[in-house]
Amino acid sequence: MAPRLRDIPLTMTIHENAISKTSYDPDARLLTLEFYGLMKQDLGMEQITRILEFIEDREVWGAVADIRRLRGSFIKVFDALRYTYYPVVAKKGHRCKAIVVSDDIITEHLAAKLRDMIQEFGMEVQLFKDREQADIWIMDTLKKYHPELNSLA
């Protein structure tokens, strides 16, 4: 069985605030975004800005976004994601994203809208209820595009 991403030490925390923590694994060129608490637009925009600054000179091949503990709507950051964030990460080699969701109907609905938006940029996206399944899928998917990652397992 493939190791779970959270069992592999993530070497860099690139941003943390009251609603999120973002880490980067330079070996897999993978972002891990964990969200918690009540969504605030300014903090969401802060995270987007910090990630874009961080990846200016780095490749990003994929991401896992765990939004199970996020409360409230994140629709207010959709324009920034559509017109600023995803165009940049797509150019940086971003191929896939796993989104881990809770049973909250609002969060599931918004995650599905986000999935549809990300797919417009040619990326593979899957929604999961289970973090372990998301971690396995993201690594399997990354290995399709980057076989050199097979040496990480």
* 6 pLDDT above the threshold of 60: no
Q: What is the mean pLDDT of residues 131-153?
A: 92
Q: Convert the pLDDT of each residue in 45-82 to its tens digit.
A: 999 999 999 999 999 999 999 999 999 888 889 999 99
Q: Is the pTM of this model over 0.85?
A: yes
pLDDT of the residue at 3 = 52
In a domain? residue 153: no
> Domain range holding 51?
5-148
With respect to residue 58, please indicate whether it lies within any of the assigned structural domains: yes
pLDDT tier at 116, thresholds 50, 70, 90: very high
Residue 9 has pLDDT above 70, yes or no: no
Using one digit for the tens of pLDDT, what is the confidence trace for 18-50? 999 999 999 999 999 999 999 999 999 999 999
Confidence tier at 152 by pLDDT (50, 70, 90): confident
Of residues 10 and 80, the one with the higher pLDDT is 80
pLDDT for position 151: 84
* Amino acid type, 107: T
What's the pLDDT score for residue 153? 54
Q: How many independent structural domains does the chain possess?
A: 1
Give a yes or no: residue 30 inside a domain: yes
Considering the chain, what is the average pLDDT of its residues?
Answer: 91
CATH of the domain at 132: 3.30.750.24
- Say if 140 falls within a structural domain: yes
- HEC string of the chain equals CCCCHHHCCCCEEEEECCCEEEEEECCCCEEEEEEEEECCHHHHHHHHHHHHHHHHHCCCCEEEEEEEEEECCCHHHHHHHHHHHHHHHHHCCCCEEEEECCCCHHHHHHHHHHHHHHHCCCCEEEEECCHHHHHHHHHHHHHHHCHHHHHHC
Per-residue model confidence (pLDDT) at position 73: 86
